[in-house]
């Protein structure tokens, strides 16, 4: 079940990144978007862990478990987002140089 959840999440994030790149092809660096998302997700996960610790300190076990479960879900999302491969943008400033155009043709996409 967790594997299906991971696949759905990966597909959702990839679809959204494709949508963003198609809507703003010249003004967007997906690696920057990915890095910013990872920063925010990390902050959210840490905040949820802090809430879980506070609830545990108040002996509110149910609330602590809820915050902890949310923080673990966020950690899962961080893993998925960080594993998404960001393709290199196609460069049009090579000026039609055939050797330059084919130099990265067989290279895999960059990963974060």
**Domain assignment present for 40:** yes
Write out pLDDT tens, residues 15-49: 777 777 777 767 767 777 788 888 888 888 999 99
**Domain assignment present for 73:** yes
**Domain assignment present for 8:** no
Domain residues for the domain of 73 are 29-84
Whether the CB-CB separation of 78 and 7 falls below 8 Å is answered with no
CA 63 to chain CA centroid, nearest Å: 27
Domains in the chain, number? 1
**Domain assignment present for 60:** yes
Write out pLDDT tens, residues 64-97: 999 999 999 999 989 988 888 877 666 544 444 4
**Domain assignment present for 79:** yes
**Domain assignment present for 110:** no
**Domain assignment present for 39:** yes
Give me the residues paired with residue 85 across strands. Answer: 111
Kindly give the interhelix angle for 61-83 and 2-23, rounded to the nearest 10 degrees: 50
**Domain assignment present for 43:** yes
Q: Helix and strand tally (H, E) in the chain?
A: 4, 2
Q: Which of 17, 23, 65 is nearest to 9 (CA)?
A: 17
């Amino acid at each position: 079940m967790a594997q299906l959840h991971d696949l759905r999440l990966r597909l959702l994030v990839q679809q959204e990144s494709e949508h963003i790149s198609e809507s703003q092809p010249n003004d967007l660096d997906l690696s920057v978007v990915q890095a910013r998302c990872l920063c925010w997700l990390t902050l959210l996960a840490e905040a949820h862990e802090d809430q879980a610790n506070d609830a545990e300190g108040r002996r509110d076990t149910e609330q602590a478990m809820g915050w902890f479960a949310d923080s673990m879900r966020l950690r899962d999302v961080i893993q998925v987002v960080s594993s998404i491969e960001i393709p290199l943008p196609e460069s049009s400033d090579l000026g039609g140089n055939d050797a330059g155009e084919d130099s990265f043709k067989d290279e895999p996409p960059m990963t974060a």
